[in-house]
């Protein structure tokens, strides 16, 4: 695969870890104690945080020109 066509990571290791932990906490809250709108919102935000943490790519960071990743 051509390396120029790969999307570069823009989320660093500490940021990724924090996103995954907060995402898991939000999913747990949604499943255990929240209800209605807040449960749905926590699930959506939690899944987004886990996804961006797992893949190391944040579309919002890319739009704003931010990168917490030290390895390029």
Please report whether residue 33 resides in a domain. yes
Q: Note whether residue 58 is domain-resident.
A: yes
Given this model, what pLDDT does residue 1 score? 47
Whole domain around residue 43: which residue ranges?
7-64
pLDDT at 4: 53
Q: Is residue 2 part of a domain?
A: no
Measured between alpha carbons, how far is 18 from 23 in angstroms, rounded to an integer? Answer: 8
31 falls within a domain: yes
Q: Tell me if 29 is assigned to some domain.
A: yes
Question: For residue 46, is pLDDT > 90?
Answer: yes
Does 36 fall in a domain? yes
Contact between residue 60 and residue 53 where contact means Cβ atoms under 8 Å apart: no
Give the confidence band of 5 by pLDDT, cuts at 50, 70, 90.
Answer: low
Asked if pLDDT for residue 27 goes beyond 70, the answer is yes
Q: How many domains does the chain have?
A: 1
């Amino acid at each position: 695969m051509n390396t120029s066509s790969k999307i570069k990571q823009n989320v660093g290791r500490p940021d990724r870890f924090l996103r995954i932990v907060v995402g898991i906490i939000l999913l747990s809250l949604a499943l255990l104690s929240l209800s209605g709108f807040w449960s749905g919102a926590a699930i959506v935000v939690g899944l987004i945080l886990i996804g961006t943490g797992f893949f190391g790519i944040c579309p919002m960071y890319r739009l704003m020109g931010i990168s917490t990743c030290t390895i390029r």
